[in-house]
Amino acid sequence: MSLRRLVAIVAGMLAVALVATACGGGGGGDDQSAQTLSIEWGEPENPLIPGNTTEQNGGDVIDALFAGLVKYDVNTGQPSNEVADSITTTDNKTFTIKIKPGWTFHDGTPVTAQSFVDSWNWTALGTNAAQAQSFMEKIDGYDEVSTEAPTAQTMRGLRVVDPQTFTVTLKQPFTIFPLTLGYSAYYPLPQKFFTDRAGFEAAPVGNGEFRFESRTPNQNLTLVRNDQYAGSVKPQVQRLEFRVYSELQTSYDDVVSGNLDHVRAIPSAALAGNRWKTDLGAGARQKEGLVTDSLGFPLYDPRFANPVLRKAISMAIDRQTIVNQIFGGVYTPATGYATSAAEGYVPNQCGEACTFNPQRAQQLLAQAGGFQGPLTLTANSDGGHDPYMQAVANSIRQTLGIDARYQPVPSFSEQRRLANSQQFTGLFRNGWQGDYPDIETFLTQLYRTNASSNDYGYSNPAVDAALSQADQAPTVQAADQGYAAAERLVLNDMPNIPLWSRPVIYGNGSRVAEAEHNPLNRQDTTTYRLNPQG
Amino acid sequence: MGRYTLRRLLQLIPVFLGSTFIVYALVWGLSDDPFAGKCGQRACSPAYIAVMTERYNLDDNIVVQYLKYLGALFTGDFGQTASGTEVADVIANAYPTTIKLAIVALVIEAVIGILAGIVSGLRGRGFVDSLVLVSTLFLISLPVFVTGLVLKQVLGVELGIIRTSVPNDPSIADLIVPGFVLGSLSMAYVARLTRTSLIENTRADYVRTAVAKGLSRRRVVGVHMLRNSLIAVVTFLGTDLGALMGGAIVTEGVFNIRGIGGLVFKGILQQDTATVVGIVVLLVIVYLIANLVVDLLYAVLDPRIRYD
């Protein structure tokens, strides 16, 4: 082949490729996009199954596709019955759950008591390796089904009485159990899931306000309104598009310039100086939430054994100044482990120990015998924690005069590896998102001996006893008081320094009339409305 | 040239096996707990670890694991991401976008870069030459994310001329600004390379001969000088195309282009081995072929180079 011909062929191929790709573009019809509300999103980490989803991206779609026994109010977070007609108990150990008639899945099959029982049993069964498995751990018979080699296939604590009724027996009384049932792990599953798993994962079938339409991996996922939805508040917008973004800042710019309708968080660059409020106007939304940031101590390291030292460090952190400078004053400095959106919240539980007081902090440090060597603070640098971790380290260093340094690790998985293998050598950053709006969600899983997220290695028999006592209290109110008492006991030991609570903040574009999150930072897609076209 | 090509293609096999094995071993070996962070703010349950160990053959020796993975790969099975999507599907969705962006960037950097280089190289010292030198220096000193964010802020947010993000399945027009951002650094290098080579060749013997033969200036520059001067530029563009085909993490992030770069980056952060290794397998092939094409193009440009 002559060399000149080769050049011509290569050039020709390039030209064809350019023309071909140029023709490949073009969007959908304008009518369709006029009735579609687009939402910033990320790829879910697991298949879209309620019992296998505990992270936000998957959870947001699951929440629109499914409806649970209980629903949390969009403004207050108060639970009320949704699919459940009634949840009754006499001993706070066995609960009788009746479900409302008339609920159907998107494929037309009815939602029955069996749908819930099958779903919960699937999530609990060890061989299914479900992410939300531990949410079933309070149910009687969980221990037999949850291991790698289960000795039973179903939990004996779940019993179907008739198609509309089932009973749940727990291992021990747990008074606030009904108000935990709005969490996505407790959603029902249709028969299709058990007969055609691959088909279900490709096109999930739920009982919620939106039906699955299509999904292009790593690009977007669309849902359409379910006109057969049996819930009390009907969905309004015709279609939702969950669009995958890799940078929060880009999605925020898209909302500001009108290419996107809803962003689920606000980038810290826009929080600084409250720029987001001028950018978004009425679309800048904020409410109290259930997310807290804190700094945990590795109590397995003897240098941190003294609670007086731990309090000294806590009191050396100027929370309000850091919140003002880095978060535009939007976050709330913590005065305890729970947030004010949680039921049973008591203000100022931490008292002096969470208040910035340089003199007292220095006194306590001296009383604890000082601190030897550098004090490291660790967080994963892929989570946007660097600015405030740096500020906290500075605050501690300047107040106490010890060599406090921020030492980031590259990724969240590395942070978790250190936590799981108990290899932290200094303070580590902890983020906690409450699963349900009760003070208990901030305590049991974090501070009970050997609890699943007790990364501190903290153990105090008095706290364990107080939590158990609260679990078994006769009323929800008495239970919440018990939890608050346990919270004070934990704070007195200070295994984990409360920093601040993050409100639920999100942004709506100019086309949106209303699109709200509830205090659990879950999207309530029944509220979503677009402005009328004019 | 045929035998040379064949020999080069055969050389791809050990390079392919070696590089994919290293990547496979590194991704799983990155952490001694492959399930850290997979279950949110808590440790994974023993049941979960048992099922996943089984699924990814983690109990086997790393070589056996790799061979099992490779076996599946040759039957066309790239495996599944952690969220249960076929990796082949994910790549098939993202790759066309990456190719489009790479071609747009390459065309922009080649056309503007070579033109600027020719103009300044031929004119010699003067206003145009200084302009090219200063503006390329400026582009080289700017990191890509600065160029990207500034253009997006000015053209997208302030002036509203372009969209602040690129839609799914973008057209060429959507990709012009991102392509410019992505190609800007290389464009500066191309301009400078072309300029230097041209100036060097102006005094070469064959140019003097061509002029002495009475050839037109256009023919002397276009056929004789450029062809020789472009060897270095083509090498640069070829390797750059290989790099561009590997995705552009920063530019993709700034304009939310759903290409391969962001996919690999996220895969590495989440230790989604199947995604990372699957894409890298593809990238290794693309890169090796791009290099081969560059080597073959040398022979086209310079008759003195022969492959026999």
For B40: left if phi > 0, alpha if psi spans -120 to 50, otherwise beta; the answer is: left
**Mean pLDDT along residues B6-35:** 83
Q: Is A352 left (phi over 0), alpha (psi -120 to 50) or beta?
A: alpha
Determine the distance in angstroms separating the CA of A102 from the nearest CA of chain B, rounded to an integer: 32
Are B164 and A257 inside 8 Å of each other by CB? yes
CB contact under 8 A, B96 and A21: yes
A51: part of which helix (H) or strand (E)?
none
The two tokens of residue B9 are: 């293609």
Q: What is the mean pLDDT of residues B31-50?
A: 77
Residues 51-90 of B with CB under 8 A from A: 51-52, 81-85, 89-90
Q: Is the pLDDT of residue B71 over 60?
A: yes
Mind listing the pLDDT tens digit for each residue in A287-333?
999 999 999 999 999 999 999 999 999 999 999 999 998 888 889 99
Amino acid at A262: H
Query: A with B: how many residue pairs have Cβ under 8 Å apart?
Result: 177
Query: Six-digit token pair at B22?
Result: 């290293």
How many C-beta atoms lie closer than 10 Å to residue B158's C-beta? 10
Asked if residue A534 has pLDDT above 70, the reply is no
Which of helix, strand or coil describes residue A276? Answer: helix
Which chain A residues contact residue B90 at CB under 8 A? 217-218
Q: What is the pLDDT of residues B78-131, one digit of tens each?
A: 888 877 788 888 888 888 999 999 999 999 999 999 999 998 988 877 888 888
The tokens 């690999």 sit on which residue?
A: B264
Distances in Å between the Cα of A426 and the Cα atoms of A303, A304, A312 are 9, 9, 15
Cα–Cα distance for residue pair A4/A21, rounded to 1 Å? 26
pLDDT for B30 beyond 80: no
Residue A506 has pLDDT above 50, yes or no: yes
CA torsion, ordered B210, B214, B220, B225, to nearest 10 deg = 20
- Could you report the per-residue pLDDT of A323-378, keeping only the tens digit for each? 998 888 889 999 999 999 999 999 999 999 999 999 999 999 999 998 988 999 99
> Which domains, and CATH codes, for chain B?
31-77 (no CATH), 88-261 (1.10.3720.10)
CB A386 within 8 A of CB A321: no
Q: Which of B42, B93, B164 sits opposite A453 (nearest CB)?
A: B42
Measure the CA–CA gap between A84 and B256, rounded to whole angstroms.
Answer: 42
- B-chain residues near A27 (CB < 8 A): 167
The answer to whether residue A166 scores a pLDDT higher than 50 is: yes
Long-range contacts of B73-82 (CB under 8 A, 24+ apart): B73/B278, B73/B281, B78/B274, B78/B278, B78/B281, B79/B274, B79/B278, B80/B274, B81/A217, B81/B267, B81/B272, B81/B274, B81/B275, B82/A45, B82/A46, B82/B38, B82/B270, B82/B272, B82/B274
Average pLDDT over residues A471-478: 94
Task: Give CA–CA dist A384/A389, Å, rounded.
Answer: 10
| pLDDT tens for each residue of B228-270 | 888 888 888 888 888 888 878 888 888 888 888 888 888 887 7
Do residue B42 and residue A134 have CB atoms under 8 angstroms apart?
yes
Pairing label, strands A523-530, A512-517:
antiparallel
What are the beta bridge partners of residue A241?
A: A38, A222
Interchain pair B252, A246: CB under 8 A:
yes
d(CA A332, CA B202): 70
Tell me what percent of the residues of chain A surpass a pLDDT of 70. Answer: 94
With a cut of 70, say whether residue A1 has pLDDT above it: no
The pLDDT of residue A25 is 38
Can you tell me whether residue B286 is helix, strand or coil?
helix
**Helix, strand, or coil here: A376?**
strand
Nearest to A447 by CA among A479, A495, A485, A482: A495
Substitution target from B83, B260, B302 for chain A, most A beta carbons within 10 A: B83
Chain B partners of A246 at a C-beta cutoff of 8 Å? 252-253, 256, 262, 265-266
Residue B285 to residues A31, A78, A439, B21: CA-CA distances in angstroms? 43, 56, 55, 14
What DSSP state is assigned to residue A304?
Answer: G
User: In chain A, what percentage of residues exceed pLDDT 90?
Assistant: 76
CA-wise closest residue to A45 among B219, B52, B257, B115: B52
Tokens 């992030």 label which residue? B253
Residue A52 is inside which H or E element, if any? none
**pLDDT exceeds cutoff 70 at B201:** yes
**Are B43 and A45 inside 8 Å of each other by CB?**
no
Please state whether A274 falls in left (phi above 0), alpha (psi between -120 and 50) or beta: left
| Structural tokens at position A245 | 């973004």
Task: Give the least confident one: A47-56, A258-267, B206-215, B288-297.
Answer: B288-297
A324 dihedral zone (left: phi>0; alpha: psi -120 to 50; beta) = alpha
Structure-token pair, residue A333: 């400095």
DSSP string covering A173-213, please?
Answer: --TTHHHHTTSGGG----HHHHH-HHHHHHS---SSSEEEE
Q: Most A CBs within 10 Å: which of B32, B41, B51, as the mutation test of the A interface?
A: B41
CB A346 within 8 A of CB A484: yes
State pLDDT tens for residues A2-39: 445 544 554 554 444 444 444 433 344 457 778 999 99
pLDDT of residue A30: 59
Long-range Cβ contact pairs of A358-361 (< 8 A, separation 24 or more): A358/A315, A358/A316, A358/A399, A360/A315, A361/A312, A361/A313, A361/A315, A361/A316, A361/A399, A361/A400
Separation of alpha carbons A113 and A121, rounded Å: 12
- Confidence label for B54 from pLDDT (cuts 50, 70 and 90): confident
- CA torsion B95-B101-B107-B112 (nearest 10°) is -160
Residue A54 pLDDT: 86
Minimal CA separation from B209 to chain A, in Å: 23
CB environment A276-310: b (16+ within 10 A), e (fewer): bbebbeebbbebbbbbbbbbbbbbeeeebeebebb
Q: Which of A47, A54, A453 sits opposite B84 (nearest CB)?
A: A47
Residue from the list A47, A219, A247 with its beta carbon closest to the beta carbon of B168: A219
DSSP code of residue A409: B
Contact B163 A259 (CB under 8 A): yes
Residue among B181, B129, B305 at smallest CA distance from B234:
B305
φ, ψ dihedrals at A292, nearest 5°: -125, 150
Q: Mean pLDDT over residues A189-203, rounded? A: 94
A129, A245, A251 ranked by CB distance to B47: nearest: A129
Least confident of A400-409, A506-515, B236-245: B236-245
- Whether the CB-CB separation of A448 and A467 falls below 8 Å is answered with yes
Residue B255, SS3 per DSSP: helix
pLDDT the model gives residue B308:
62
Does residue A141 register a pLDDT over 90?
Answer: yes
* Nearest-by-CA chain A residue for B170: A25
Residues A176, A124 contacting (CB under 8 angstroms): no
ipTM, two decimals = 0.81
Q: How many CA atoms lie within 13 A of A474 on its CB side?
A: 0
Q: Which residue has the higher pLDDT, A410 or A203?
A: A203
Helix (H, G, I), strand (E, B) or coil at A380: strand
Residues of chain B positioned with their CB less than 8 A from the CB of A257: 156-157, 160, 163-164
- Are A126 and A208 in contact by the 8 Å Cβ rule? The answer is no
Q: Tell which B residues from 240 to 259 touch A, by Cβ distance under 8 Å.
A: 252-256, 258
Q: Which of B43, B48, B83 sits opposite A44 (nearest CB)?
A: B83
Which residues, listed in sequence order, are joined to residue A262 by a DSSP beta bridge? A39, A508
The token duo for A302 is: 């003897």
Locus of tokens 């950097």: B109
Strands A404-406 and A375-378: parallel
- In chain A, which residue's Cα lies nearest the Cα of B148? A250
- Does the pLDDT value for residue A123 go beyond 50? yes
pLDDT given for residue A20 in this prediction: 44
Which residues of chain A make contact with B299, given a CB cutoff of 8 A?
Answer: 3
Q: Are the Cβ atoms of B165 and A217 closer than 8 angstroms?
A: no
Distance from CA of B50 to the nearest CA of A (A): 7
pTM (two decimals): 0.85
Average pLDDT, chain B: 85
Residue with tokens 């809803």: A262
Contact B165 A44 (CB under 8 A): no
Angle between helical axes of B127-141 and B87-123 (0-180°, round to 10): 150
pLDDT in tens, A153-163: 999 999 999 99
Q: Are strands A158-162 and A404-406 parallel, antiparallel or unpaired?
A: unpaired
> Are B168 and A216 an interchain contact pair (Cβ–Cβ within 8 Å)?
yes
